[in-house]
Amino acid sequence: MRILGVDPGLLRTGYGVIDAGKEGIKMVQAGVVLTSPKDGISLRVQDIYRNITAVILESKPSVLVLEKLYSHYKHPATSILMGHSRGVVCLACGINGLKLVNYASTRIKKSITGNGHAGKYQVREMVKDILKLTKDPEPMDVSDALAMAISYVFIDGVRAKG
């Protein structure tokens, strides 16, 4: 099964595509969509939409995994900005007929590390280990996206299904 994880952000949207089956989990591709703060919001979300759509069309995943939106009371503007990029990722998913799965960040971290409150560096190290990568997946948006895709395998038992 091919799975796409996306870590949406208005400045950087990380993505990671993995294949999972009886032979294990392997990375197919990963990267980041960068937008410029100098561009207006409409150009930035358009760029995210076009690039994520291109990844979907090229890699043909069966499912797209996102982290549930969480808003910290001290930083509500952050979740509003993330909501813009998250919305266009959901749109790309819907238009292309993909199954959309949302997990809480604590559930993703627990499935990857065994600790729902693990730090970003611990998650990145486990992603590197699980995928047998020789280098750290960078930037962190990429390792977070790959963690989302991997969590689907562990939570929904994809490997057992083949």
Residue 161 has pLDDT above 60, yes or no: no
Whether 125 is a known active-site residue: answer no
pLDDT band for position 153 (50/70/90)? very high
Does 39 qualify as catalytic in the annotation?
Answer: no
Q: Which of 136, 141, 144, 156 is catalytic?
A: 141
- Specify the fold of 2-161: Nucleotidyltransferase; domain 5 (3.30.420)
Task: Give residue 2's pLDDT band: very low, low, confident or very high (50, 70, 90).
Answer: very high
Q: For residue range 28-83, list pLDDT tens digits in order.
A: 999 999 999 999 999 999 999 999 999 999 999 999 999 887 666 666 677 777 78
Nearest to 48 by CA among 121, 145, 117, 137: 145
- 16 to 73, 78, 84: CA distances (angstroms): 29, 23, 20
Average pLDDT, the chain: 92
Q: Is 141 known to be catalytic?
A: yes
| Per-residue model confidence (pLDDT) at position 162 | 46
Catalytic residue among 39, 67, 129, 136: 67
> What percent of the chain is predicted at pLDDT more than 70?
93
- The candidate with the shortest Cα–Cα distance to 124, out of 110, 139, 103, 111, is 139
Per-residue pLDDT at 160: 44
Q: Which of 7, 19, 47, 144 is catalytic?
A: 7
